[in-house]
Amino acid sequence: MNKLLLFALLALPALGVRAQIAIDRAILLEGTDPSDRQVEGIPDPTQWNDALNSRAAALQLMRYGVNTGSANSWVIDLPPPLPDTLPPGAEILVRVSAENTGAVDLTLNGTGPFAVVGRMARPLDSAEVQAGSIVRLLFDGEAFQWHGPLSFAGRDCPAGTVPVNERYCIESTIRDTAHFAPAAITCGDLGGRLCSWGEW
């Protein structure tokens, strides 16, 4: 009996026994070198409930997708499959492939379609979402709420200017201070205009 117990105790570590434990306190990693204070070996997630490594978290691998559907019927496939029921509060980032022409719906990993709505749960208006923009969507349990673009595709701007948003360009160099009238004339000569207070 003792030999059998001893054999079992010696054989178990060799089999690579693994376990999980629950810890109700913060884990403090100590070491003289920063490389001694890290957890290593966590692979990229392949399932929705897998642990995230820092690479997957930084690159938003779990929640970023590209629309492969049409302008108004978005189809998004996130790399790890989602649970059967999407929980309220779930957030995804979507790169939009084409400017919308009306109300938008979204199918996520084969689930849906769900409406994509703007403020006050209103359907999106035409051209509200620009091609190439990355939008943030939050699931409320029934629909995805659009929280505006995180980036925009920009617009074609004249030489010496850069896009500020989808509508406006601004000079990339700073000019000397001028009063309103000379500044307005200079802008007009360049084919532009001064910003209004609302645009400023």
Is the domain of 145 the same as that of 187? no
Instruction: Give CA angle at 151 (144, 106), nearest 5°.
Output: 25
Among residues 82, 92, 102, the alpha carbon closest in space to that of 140 is found at 92
What does the pLDDT read at residue 6? Answer: 47
In a domain, 81, yes or no: yes
CB 129 within 8 A of CB 101: no
Q: Total structural domains in the chain? A: 2
What does the pLDDT read at residue 197? Answer: 64
Q: What is the pTM of this model?
A: 0.55
Say if residue 50's pLDDT is above 50: yes
Is the domain of 192 the same as that of 116? no
What does the pLDDT read at residue 16? Answer: 55
Is the domain of 83 the same as that of 131? yes
What does the pLDDT read at residue 107? Answer: 93
Say if residue 119's pLDDT is above 50: yes
Domain boundary among 151, 168, 192: 151
What domain range is 179 assigned to? 155-200
Mean pLDDT value of segment 187-194: 78
Say if residue 17's pLDDT is above 80: no
CA separation (Å) from 67 to 73, 79, 106, 143? Answer: 9, 13, 9, 17
